[in-house]
Amino acid sequence: MRIGIPRALLYYQYYPMWQTFFEELGAEVVVSPPTTQAMLAEGSARVVADTCLPVKAFLGHVLSLVEQCDRIFIPAIRSVKKNTCNCSKALGLPDMTKAVIPESPPILDIDIDINRGKRVLYQAIYKLGRHFTWNPFRVRRAATAAWQAYLNYRELMSSQGLTPRQTIEKLSDAPETKGEMSSSYPAPTRATIALIGHPYIIYDEYISHRLVRRLETAGIKILTPKMLTIEELESAITRLAGRAYWAYEEEIVGAGGHYLQSGADGVIGIMTFGCGPDSLMMDMVARRAARPQATPFMSLTLEEHTAEAGLVTRLEAFTDMIHRKKRRQGSR
């Protein structure tokens, strides 16, 4: 059986885990190609106008997998930690996809809800595994291997400062894709900037307008939330928000709080137009950044707009601000 996985949303978080799980159970995994203008346009055409950009892109990826696979894997991630919530679109993702893309191959879904405890989680995993085997021990083995693959993936990213794509390539021994954002900086590093936001925005080159590469070309070393350890992220959330409310809050509040305090010359927050939780979380970071003597902070809202002038001007001004500030401090 060929399982399609859209290269969007939580792909960047969990792909090695999902891939391992399905392959251990004897399935073949097919991933959609990187986002393009056409995919986004096709995805957008299926939903009401105020749907957020990442979901539009996600649906475009699903459309590109139609007829490429026998099943599409779309999990409904309700919570990833006790007492946190995920956004409503993430909760209803399999159902929404079914409703707006009727031609989609049958959807394999799984409810991940850590709020309801381990027992419910294990039941959900067995239920998913039953599509492939009736042997619960095989499902259990696949799940354990998948979890191990996930931990390796996280470890590699945070210890070596790699992007998800580089890490995935490394794990699968595939040749490195040419032209991908690199961790070898072409220009001598003049400053370090932390990008905070969800990986499906930062690492999707189409949605982010090649943000990482633009900054790297300008001699900026990039830091991202995935390069921090879970402990660092959690302690920053405690400092800024007390306790996390949203799933993946660590990618914005945690990473923002951490980098505003140490490690970066500047922090850029990236969110997409129409994201409710992000606008709340980014504001928490912006308030912290508004304190006197804080690390410079700027937030960028990306949308379907193809004009990049506004983005480029802001990035240039932000990096200039940091360079001039550093130079001034150096000359004192």
Partner 1 sequence: MEAYLGIDVGSVTTKLAVLDKNDELITHTYRLTQGKPIDMVQQGLVEIKEQLPENVDICGVATTGSARYLAGVVVGADLVKNEITSHAVAAMLHFPEVQTIIEIGGQDSKIIIIRDGVVTDFGMNTVCAAGTGSFLDHQAVRLNMSIEALSQRALDSRTPTRIAGRCGVFAESDMVHKQQVGHRIEDILYGLCQALVRNYLNNVGLGKEIKPPIVFQGGVAFNQAIVKAFQAELKAEIFVPPHHEIMGAIGAALLVHEEMESNGNDSKFRGFGVSGVKYHTSSFECKACPNLCEIAKLALDSQVIARWGGRCDLWERIPAEEVK
- Distance between CA 223 and CA 61 in Å, rounded? 27
The burial class, CB within 10 Å (0-12 / 13-18 / 19+), for 30 is: middle
In the three-class reduction of DSSP (H, G, I as helix; E, B as strand; rest coil), residue 181 is classed as coil
125 versus 268: smaller Cβ distance to partner 1: 268
The least distance separating partner 1 from the CB of residue 269, rounded to whole angstroms, comes to 13
What is the closest distance, in whole angstroms, from the C-beta atom of residue 37 to partner 1 in the complex? 4
CB of 284 to partner 1, least distance (A): 12
| Contact by Cβ (8 Å): 215, 181 | no
Q: Hey, what's the torsion of the CAs at 29, 225, 209, 178, to 10 degrees?
A: -50
CB of 36 to partner 1, least distance (A): 4
Between β-strands 107-108 and 266-272, what pairing exists: parallel, antiparallel or unpaired?
unpaired
Q: Which is nearer to partner 1, 176 or 320 (CB)?
A: 320
Residue 154 vs 325, nearer CB to partner 1: 325
Q: Catalog residues that contact partner 1 under the rule CB under 8 A.
A: 36-39, 179, 205-206, 209-210, 286-287, 290, 296-298, 301, 305-306, 309-310, 312-314, 316-318, 320-321, 324-325, 328
Query: 190-211: string of b/e by CB count within 10 Å (b at 16+)?
Result: bbebbbbbbbbbbbbbebbbeb
Residue (93 or 260) nearer to partner 1, CB = 260
Report, in Å, the least distance between residue 332 CB and partner 1.
10
Neighbours of 228 (CB within 10 A): 22
Dihedral sign, Cα of residue 219, residue 223, residue 227, residue 232: positive
Nearer to partner 1, 104 or 208 (CB): 208
Which of 198, 182, 134, 133 shows the shortest CA–CA distance to 1?
133
Nearer to partner 1, 6 or 16 (CB): 6
* Closest separation in Å from C-beta 316 to partner 1: 4
Closer to partner 1 at the Cβ: 235 or 279? 279
Residue 99 burial (CB count, 10 A): 11
Compare residues 118 and 178 and give the one whose CB is closer to partner 1. Answer: 178
Distance CA 67, CA 181 (A): 31
Q: How far is the CB of 327 from partner 1 (least distance, A)?
A: 9
Contact 56, 44 (CB under 8 A): yes
Residue 73 neighbours by CB under 8 Å, 6+ apart: 3, 4, 5, 18, 22, 107, 108, 109
- Give the chain's length: 332
Q: Residue 46 CB, nearest distance to partner 1 (Å)?
A: 17
Which residue, 30 or 298, has its beta carbon nearer to partner 1?
Answer: 298
- Specify whether the CB–CB gap between 221 and 189 falls below 8 A: yes
CA distance 177 to 157: 17
The distance of closest approach from Cβ of residue 299 to partner 1 in the complex, given in angstroms and rounded to an integer, is: 10
